[in-house]
Chain A
Amino acid sequence: MINSIVNQFKQRNFLFGFILILAAIILIGIYKPAVLVEGLQRSALYALIALPMALLLGIVDIINLAHGEFMMVGAYFAYFMSAQFGMDPIVSVLPALLIFFIFGLIVYYLTFKHIIGKPPLNQLLLGFGISLILSEGMTAIATNAPRKLSLDYVSSSASIGGVTFGTFEFVYVAGALIVLLGMQLLLKKTATGQAAVAVGQNPRGARVVGINVNNIYLLIFCVSIALISAIGPLFMTRYTLFPQMGSSFTLKSFSLVAVGGMGSITGVVYAALILGMGETLVLSSLKYGKWAEIIYFALIIGVIMYRSHQRQVK
């Protein structure tokens, strides 16, 4: 794995981009140190949310437009577990992983299984339909009222050198690192992961060499759903819940995957760093704070322009 990182640095473009990001981060650190810590936490949350989509879309080419909605359902699961049985949201990550793996299995067998190999339009529409079912189903169960748990440890804070910041949010950093490392190990070190990469590159070729393509799709889909739903409990400790919150995260995750480059897991993390730092920087200014949401649109548009320019050159 270290080798692959070293190889990345040998590419000039990558090195240039990396230095640019590093310089920007150092500048921000000098200008507003609090932004640096908060930006890191926000970036980690974005990376955490986008990584499951990077696995599904980047590796095996399935677009799941209900991505954010699965996170929303996971968050509501943790909320109700906490409200009914007093289960701590952090603890409920584990049952969420198991339950939503099975949920993903059911969803895959009922819907996505019949769509694989068909035009991508069908996948988009199907995902849109599922996202509607999930968000409206949740509205029917839990109404539109925003919900929020009040937990003591969430608001804990520490200060270093006059900069005060929340300590709980480092959960996102830890989570992102664990998920990133896990995915890298899965894809690089295990036979299943290698098979998944092969299926993504050429499903027919993979079938010819004896890979069970259906099982790979099934596994990657379920892992992705389980991961994104298990992020829900972590998400809801800090943010307010409502049934429509998912769609903006689907868009953000997609733009991160597109910016990071389809098929690149580490690329998504760099893209998340840009988005998280940029948003936090804009949020920290009193006058322009409302415009923070514009940042990721700039990201999407920039990448699309770049890609379509590349296509023209070809």
Chain B
Amino acid sequence: MKYSKYLAVLVLFIVAAALPNYLGLYQLQIMNFVFVYIAFALSWDMLLRSGQLSFGIAGFAGIGGYTSVLCGYNFALSPILCILIGSAVAGIVALFVGSQVLKLRGLYFSIVTLAIGEIFRVIVRNLEVTGAAEGILLPNAIFMGNATKTYWLMFAIATFTIIISILFQKTRIYYALTSISNDEIVAASSGVNIFKYLVIIFVVTSAIQGMAGAAYWQIYASVTPEGAFNLGFALLPITMALFGGVGTTWGPVIGSAILSVTAEYLKLQFPHGHLLVYGFIMVAAILWFPSGIMGVFKQFTAKFNT
């Protein structure tokens, strides 16, 4: 059983590595979506494991995207460096916000993360430096628009997120966060520094979201306020993570892989209101299958084994 797991990961990796040779430009583009959404959904889920619900994916992705494009536009830095700076800035914003808001949990935290994207959208839309409502256009896309190279970049970011998630599941941070989400008072009285761990995980996940957002907008070589802080970036990854199964590493990955391909299909079929399906999936997941596909799968294998 243990080896089959590693084997599955290896097969997945080989398939992912071989894909650029067989796919066309449009399919590679969809694969980029898949990887971005894996990074978003998984990082969102990592924070959820500590019991904090964030709606800030759109905000941090937008911050990362704007920072990286601004760096490229004003200082002509190399795109990879820009992406790292974008990630760092998103992390710093998260550190600042988190150190204020994480003392108040639950409702307040969720609403403030929801407001972050809106705040930055208003700021970015009104400043001259950020190109106001038109946004900024870079002279060149990352890697001169080479589809295979961008595929590898996004693949690296998704893999990086998966590795971080697995690391968090294996180290003491996992036990600290699990105890926090189970019962904060018990966690605090057994010597867990709740606040410290919550800030760490919030900063790390936001930096990942910033990085994925930065890479995404570097591929497009442009940012606009309405695009970069689009609430869809918050909605879709949350739905994907819920659909795949929260609290696991592979649940959000599988959810993102399935739903981002479906999203592309639906977008072509129903130009107006294709996200309706996602709303229904979200509601259904919360009401009827809270552990997602992974939960259903586990139930099935448990039945099969006995």
A→B interface (CB under 8 Å): 63, 111, 114-115, 119-122, 124-126, 128-134, 136-141, 143-144, 247-248, 251, 254-255, 258, 290-291, 293-294, 297, 300-301, 304-305, 307-308, 311-312
Contact = CB atoms under 8 A, between A and B. Distances in A.
B53 A121 contact: yes
Nearest to A291: B126
A259 to B, nearest CB: 12
Contacts of A137: 273, 276, 279
A304 B103 CA distance: 10
Report, nearest first, the 10 A-B pairs whose CB atoms are least far apart.
A140-B273, A132-B279, A129-B282, A133-B279, A139-B273, A129-B283, A136-B276, A308-B103, A136-B275, A136-B273
A311 B101 CA distance: 11
22 contacts: A111-B283, A121-B53, A125-B286, A128-B235, A129-B239, A129-B279, A130-B279, A132-B282, A133-B279, A136-B273, A136-B274, A140-B276, A144-B272, A248-B118, A251-B114, A251-B115, A291-B126, A294-B119, A300-B112, A304-B104, A305-B100, A307-B104
Interface in B106-145: 106-108, 110-112, 114-115, 118-119, 122-123, 125-126
A308 B238 contact: no
Given A111-B287, A121-B53, A251 B118 contact: yes
Nearest to A131: B279
A140 B104 contact: no
A55 B125 CA distance: 34
Question: In terms of DSSP, what is the predominant structure of the interface of chain B?
Answer: helix
B278 interface: yes
Given A129-B282, A251-B115, 16 more contacts: A63-B107, A121-B106, A122-B286, A124-B53, A126-B283, A129-B286, A130-B279, A130-B283, A132-B279, A139-B276, A140-B272, A247-B231, A300-B111, A304-B100, A308-B101, A311-B104
B100 A143 contact: no
A308 B100 contact: yes
Interface of B: 48, 51, 53, 55, 100-101, 103-104, 106-108, 110-112, 114-115, 118-119, 122-123, 125-126, 231, 235, 238-239, 242, 270, 272-276, 278-280, 282-283, 286-287
B177 to A, nearest CB: 14
A57 to B, nearest CB: 9
A311 B103 contact: yes
A196 B111 CA distance: 25
B110 to A, nearest CB: 5
B195 to A, nearest CB: 10
A132 B231 CA distance: 10
Contacts of B119: 294, 297
A140 B270 contact: yes
A24 B256 CA distance: 51
By secondary structure, the A interface counts as helix
Contact of B115 (A63, A121, A128, A297): A297
A134 B242 CA distance: 19
Contact of B282 (A125, A251, A300): A125
Contacts of A139: 272-273, 276
A130 B285 CA distance: 12
Contact of A304 (B108, B118, B276): B108
B104 A300 contact: no
Contacts of B48: 121
Given A140-B276, A247-B231, A297-B122, A304 B283 contact: no
Contacts of A119: 51
A125 B238 contact: yes
A27 to B, nearest CB: 26
A128 B241 CA distance: 14
Contacts of B51: 119, 121
A272 to B, nearest CB: 17
Given A111-B287, A139-B272, A251-B114, A120 B107 contact: yes
B151 to A, nearest CB: 30
B53 A125 contact: yes
B242 A125 contact: yes
A290 B133 CA distance: 11
A294 B114 contact: no
Contacts of B238: 125, 128
Nearest to A254: B111
A132 B278 contact: yes
A27 B152 CA distance: 61
Contacts of A255: 111, 115
Contacts of A251: 111, 114-115, 118
Most chain B C-beta atoms within 10 Å of own C-beta, residue among A63, A119, A128, A254: A128
Given A121-B51, A129-B286, A136-B279, A304 B122 contact: no
Contacts of B53: 121, 124-125
A312 B103 contact: yes
